[in-house]
Amino acid sequence: MAEEKRILVVGGGISGITTTVEAAEVGYEVTLIEKNPYLGGRVAQLNKYFPKLCPPNCGLEINFRRIKNNPRVKFYTLAEVEKISGTEGDFDVTVKLNPRYVNEKCTACGACVDVCPQERPNDFNLGMDKTKAIYLPHEFAFPLRYVIDEKYCAKEKCAKCVEACAYNAIDLNMKSQSISLKAGSIVWATGWNPYEATKIDNLGFGKYQNVITNMMMERLASHNGPTEGKILRPSDGKEVSRVAFVQCAGSRDENHLPYCSYICCLASMKQATYVREQYPQAQILIFYIDIRSPGTRYEKFYKKVQSDENIKFIKGKVAKIEEDPATKDLTVVAEDTQSMQKIHEKVELVVLATGMAPITKEWKIPTSVSYDTDGFVLSNTGPAGIYAIGCAIKPVDVYSSAREGTAAALKAIQSTSGGVRR
Amino acid sequence: MEKKIGVYICTDCEIGKSLNIDSLVKVATKTKAPVVKTHPALCQKEGVEFIKNDMATEGVNAVIIAACSSRVNYDVFNLGIPLLERVNLREGVVWCQPPNNEDTQMMAEDYVRMGILKMQKMEAPEPYKAENLSKNVLVVGGGLAGITAANEAAKTGYDVFLVEKNDSLGGWMARLYKQTPTKPPYTDLEEPLIKDLIKEIQQNSKVKIYTSSLVEKIDGAPGLFDVTVKQNGNVETFRAGAIVSAAGTIPYDATKIEHLGFGKYPNVITNYMLEERASKGTIVRPSDSKPAKTVAFILCAGQRDETHLPYCSATCCVESLKQAKYIREQYPDSKVYIFYRDMRTPGHYEYFYKGIQNDPGVFLTKGDVKSITEDENKNLNIDVENTLLGEKIRVNVDLAVLATGMVPVSALGEEILPPGVKPGDEFIPYIMIETDILNLEYRQGGEAPVLIYGYSDSNFICFPYETRRTGIYAAGSVRSPMDISSTIEDATGAALKAIQCIELTDRGEAVHPRVGDTSYVDIFLQKCTQCKRCTEECPFGAINEDEKANPLYNPTRCRRCAVCMGACPERIMSFKNYSVDMIGTMVKNIEVPPEEDEKPRAIVFVCENDAYPALDMVGLHRLNYTPFVRVVPLRCAGSMNLVWVADALSKGIDGILILGCQYGDDYQCHMATGSHLAKIRLSKVAETLDRLKLESGRVQMEQISISEYYKIPQILDEFIEKLKGFGPNPYKGF
């Protein structure tokens, strides 16, 4: 098949992976590019999916196998799109490949890590622990290959890893390079970042150690997280017996994210089950404006969580959070809109249900396309043949992302083949 | 062509340092592998060339790579041959066992031997090529979902048959007055897009439209669906390759919600009725055609309510806001009340909600509507409790609109369980509701099984189109309640899956989750005893029956999970590269040390989807476990045949453990019921063991997910300890 008939997918999270494998399994050639050193995106950081409470790595494993087994898929990690030109059916794309400093000879034996003297904050665990400057992003990482963080590596001045590697897999002279790709259509699935919680002054994130975000909670609850899955509060590593979840932390708020991020109600309920599973005596408070669990399975899950007597739902927006400097315990101040009472609840850990900010807010598609005021791509505003999906256009859950990813595969095929069945 | 096996043992990654490679070579040679070689690093370029050279010069055409797990270096070892087997000496032996140890060595030798025996029993699969395959798509239902699926499939170059039971297309959407905003600033109502879509499809020569039509019968399988359509008494038949089922929903019967007065008071109407009235022009109330200027919307009418619909229909909050808006636009002096439980306006709908909140003519509050009564002017008194005002309130309105929910057409019938299954049973293989949507000629029933509240959605979060009927994809609100933009996405995705199934079928490959698998079942029918286990247990309904109860296998419906192979007591179901004989031979050739050595042996059958990668993770983390287990990967735990248990026990193996996926309501088994069936089979063997005075604890099943890998060493160690407690299998040495 001619090179220009490839489909290019930008973003290797659940949406982009889905588009990739679904199109390739029809019989089309697909190139997937991802900026991280591994595929999987946001969902790779999650402990479980709601409402089923199943592990994301289960589905990722299947999807990675689909990629491995399919010769029509070509993927690049540490890659970014620099330039797009051309038209539907015939795009020219320049992709920058950032150096991994570790080549394909790596067997993931880990000998390099033992000798590396430098540390870096572990972004996979949202900075809650450290890795060495040469590291495996996480244990389920695909591809299973080490990578060097150039910001922290002393390179030739050190080079201990080069000596330790028995496979000549480390190349400290690796340079970034640009490659040109031909694509018939482009699917943009760059996903989201958690909203910067330090911006929400009244909720104390960044000021009080025991105020964490929902994504941090995912990592704390994950066995491959900084605490090996034990939910411990950051200030003193203590077990928790009373935890508050603050919904709409920055979401549905004109000063922050005016929209609803869709997933946070269910995510907090799911995280409440993490705490309850680990601490049978623990009390949970969920402060919310509206509980948004639309549909069949989500509503069923809400009912299940509601039936737990130790989980209390309080309708009311949290006004502020205060810390007791001696104990590092926190007081959540809110108005219960049903009892019209101002309430003060003392807890050991506060989880902010921070929302999703589209990555396209900072990192635009290098083509003429319009965005809304929040940075989401406006559908059907770009050139024909370029499709934005998933959290690049609106906040969505995993199920919808996979659905959109599947639908985008068909749109991409139409643009690539010009509606001619192969 | 004669099979020539080459065994390549890698000595890198601690394999060479931890194992006696010479003895491994001897084992391989003794197991009659004609070519046995070692290499210092097979995955490096020179290593691959080393193998390729043998293929070119020595005629090796069946390669066994005894090195790392098949999860890694899959691309490096892609030698372009179907007969390739990986023996996992790295993650599976040296990374989870102490080095240079007699037991570690025995484990490695067993695996090498088992790998060779497996290869000796393996044949290259040849893709199933059916004749007269159709690449056309059948779409059932001509609403938004069906029209979208048909349009999108046609745009991709496929011919489509669209069957709609009503005399016109458009479904509920055709009755819409306005649509909710889809673009910033998310305040302005939009014209329904369905009219354009109907026009588009009517003009598309690739779509053949049947209105006033029903699908009377669908016979066959993907690529070969023979469809009978009845239109105004005429019957037409055609062949289709795959099906999109977009039958849609109907509104919940509001008369059932007694306290809200629908059916009793003329001015209580449903959201659906308001939409139709609004599209006719002036919004007036039914009793006296007076303009409806004070209107109350009662959300969740009969929803999120165990006595009515337990679920949320996902669209009513936003639709009610929309209706409030057009009433306010039509009558600037109107007053609208909206009583909700939780205002569900996810994503950008929040902007729309905010706009309505800013309208002083709309009064919104959380509240439970306790009753609706009528006064002498046919106005309605609405009593609401638990409002945000902290008190009970009563409002008097011209018109009350109930936001009733959706009921999928797939739920309109009686639930039928498979023969012999009762409600409340621990294992219910599937629930069928015979609704006349598809009328499939399938042994397991005429429709696709339903999963939750009569919807036929997917049980998988990451695989939203996963289905229990290959080549049949539900789309739109028959799958799950959804709004307009989700329906369009859903239907487009379903069209992709239909097309994908057609293309995979054409290539003779399986669909998800074993995409690309070209093997399929050979049935040795002469030995069939018509026990029906295979036809009943196939999770995908792939096997029909003839009148004598012989299995009629449909390869293009088959997902290649081999659950039938596990089910069959006569062992007549086999794949070219996966069979009862193959696994049985591996099991029977595990070396069992004599009783006095006090070294028990257990077989661990592991699901290759989750448990096998989990075992890899154990190795990657260098977690050690008992050396007395032998791992045998299976396509699905449900492909486990009990004869293997008998083979193992008669050979002196002390116990059998299965590591499968979670089963039950939230099953994670990618073959739907496979792991649960394994559990049930195993419990049957436990009864037999009791009768033979063998401890039933010698067989055990554990549910494990990939993320729980760290639990595996303990599970294995404890199982072996338990076996030691039982003492050796008395059949040892027989």
**pLDDT in the model for residue A3:** 46
Q: According to CATH, where is 3.50.50.60 located in chain B?
A: 137-250+409-507, 253-404
In chain B, which stretches have pLDDT less than 50? none
Condensed to tens digits (0 to 9), the pLDDT of residues A183-242 reads 999 999 999 999 999 999 999 999 999 999 999 999 999 999 999 999 999 999 999 999
Residue type, A357: A
- A223 with B707: Cβ contact below 8 A: yes
A157: how many CB neighbours lie within 10 A of its CB?
7
Mutate to test the interface with A, among B45, B78, B707 (most CBs of A within 10 A): B707
* B533 sits in which H/E element: helix B533-537
**pLDDT in the model for residue A421:** 64
Contacts of B47 (CB under 8 A, 6+ apart): B8, B10, B39, B40, B41
A363 contact B CB<8A: no
Nearest to B461 among A49, A396, A417 (CB): A49
B668: how many CB neighbours lie within 10 A of its CB?
24
Nearest to A54 among B314, B511, B668 (CB): B668
A409 contact B CB<8A: yes
- Residue B117 tokens read as 């025996």
**pLDDT in the model for residue A107:** 85
CATH code for the domain defined by B1-124: 3.40.50
Are the beta carbons of B284 and B291 closer than 8 angstroms? yes
The interaxial angle of helices A264-278 and A214-221, nearest 10 deg, is 40
Mean pLDDT confidence for A137-141: 95
Condensed to tens digits (0 to 9), the pLDDT of residues B139-198 reads 999 999 999 999 999 999 999 999 999 999 999 999 999 999 999 999 999 999 999 999
Q: How close, in Å, is residue B488 to chain A by CA atoms?
A: 9
B522: how many CB neighbours lie within 10 A of its CB?
13
Beta bridge partners of A284: A243, A311
Q: Which of A166, A111, A163 is nearest to A134 (CA)?
A: A111
Mean pLDDT confidence for A108-117: 94
Could you give all domains of chain A from N- to C-terminal order, each with its CATH number? 3-98+176-193+357-417 (3.50.50.60), 111-164 (no CATH), 196-354 (3.50.50.60)
Residue A1 confidence class, pLDDT cut points 50, 70, 90: very low
Are the beta carbons of B118 and B586 closer than 8 angstroms? yes
A317 contact B CB<8A: no
* B230 sits in which H/E element: strand B225-231
Q: Which of A67, A79, A216 is nearest to A147 (CA)?
A: A79
ipTM, two decimals: 0.97
Question: Which of A:132-191 have CB within 8 Å of B?
Answer: 139-140, 144, 167
Task: For chain A, give the percent of residues with pLDDT over 70.
Answer: 98
Mean pLDDT confidence for A356-363: 97
Question: What fold characterizes domain B522-572?
Answer: Alpha-Beta Plaits (3.30.70)
Give CA–CA dist B308/B303, Å, rounded: 6
Residue A420 confidence class, pLDDT cut points 50, 70, 90: low
CATH code for the domain defined by B579-734: 3.40.50
Please tell me whether the peptide bond between A117 and the residue prior to it is cis, using omega within 30 degrees of 0.
Answer: no
A27 contact B CB<8A: yes
**pLDDT in the model for residue A339:** 83
- A421 with B311: Cβ contact below 8 A: no
B344 CB neighbours in chain A (<8 A) are: 290, 292, 294
B157 CB neighbours in chain A (<8 A) are: 417, 419-421
Class of CATH domain B137-250+409-507: alpha beta
DSSP line for A301-366: HHHHHHT-TTEEEEES-EEEEEE-TTT--EEEEEEETTTTEEEEEEESEEEEEE-EEEGGGTS--S
**pLDDT in the model for residue B3:** 96
A277 contact B CB<8A: no
**pLDDT in the model for residue A144:** 93
Whole-number average pLDDT of chain A: 96
Q: According to CATH, where is 3.40.50 located in chain B?
A: 1-124, 579-734
pTM for the whole thing?
A: 0.97
Mean pLDDT confidence for A294-322: 97
Condensed to tens digits (0 to 9), the pLDDT of residues A57-96 reads 999 999 999 999 999 999 999 999 999 999 999 999 999 9
Is domain B253-404 given the CATH code 3.50.50.60 in the classification?
yes
Q: How close, in Å, is residue B329 to chain A by CA atoms?
A: 24
What burial letters (b/e) apply to B477-489, b meaning 16+ CB within 10 Å?
bbbbbbbbbbbbb
Q: According to CATH, where is 3.30.70.20 located in chain B?
A: 522-572
